[in-house]
Amino acid sequence: MKNVPSLVVAALFALTGCGSAATTIPPSAPPVPTTSPTSIPTAEATCPPPSEDTRRLTREQTGFCLLYPESFIEVGTDPTQVCLVPGEPFMACHSAKVFINVADAAGRTVRQAADEVIAQGGVIGDPSPLTIAGQEAVVLPEVGGQASTRVVMLVHDDRLYTVGFVLPGADAPSVAEFELLFHTIIDSFTLVPAAPPPAGTGLAHHQERRRRRGEAKQEARDLERALAPKTRAARAEGGEEAVGT
């Protein structure tokens, strides 16, 4: 498998994979999964229990949980992103089939967030609406690149949830495995009350640090500009005294 397409990298992890490219399934609107009543986000929402064939992924800090096939391995790269790798051996997320990312929605709706991805180009097929955990979601059937990906986007509590599924080859077993993976995750995706992040962590903390660094750099530039005339005047005065001596 080759690298995840640049659009999805920007939306998800900025991670890459390696290997040979596969012929992807033709883009089409994915079937609408049946949403369980228990997945509606309420104060009492609970994560679905895993079965003999599934495992449960829980991210309390970013407010979601889901089930995935037990043949996959969960690899967390930081509190806001995780990937699912099909068994061992594996090298982090390089061979992952699913990428999940949670980011600040910055006041955008899910359609606005999806439009931004579409505007960058590379999206094949029309976006389609979907209801996940009682919330409006948008499915981009195929985001082209070195490895085509089906992308599902959801906004809740001003968080943008993005799930990217690497599309399979055209052979029937690969397609069947892909559909099982897609439906297992989407059907079980549950929104739960997010736990507050530990002090000094989380997206808001990192954004605040970047903002403060930007302000500090701007203040340094302003101070340099304010001192520049005085510095030039001092140098000129020093030069005149040197000439006169």
The more confident residue out of 172 and 205 is 172
Kindly list the domain boundaries of the chain, sorted by start residue: 6-191, 199-245
Q: Who contacts 54 (Cβ-Cβ below 8 Å, separation ≥6)?
A: 67, 68, 69, 70, 184, 188
8 Å CB contact between 133 and 35: yes
Average pLDDT over the chain, rounded to whole?
Answer: 78
CATH number for region 6-191: 3.40.1000.10
Say yes or no to pLDDT of 26 above 70: no
CB-side exposure of 195: number of CA atoms within 13 Å? 11
Residue 176, pLDDT score: 96
pTM (2 d.p.) = 0.67
Residue 48, pLDDT score: 94
Residue 226, pLDDT score: 76
Distance of CA 24 to the CA centre of its chain: 22
Residue type (1 letter), 30: P
Closest alpha carbon to 102 in 87, 113, 90, 86: 113
Say yes or no to pLDDT of 229 above 80: no
Residue 30, pLDDT score: 52
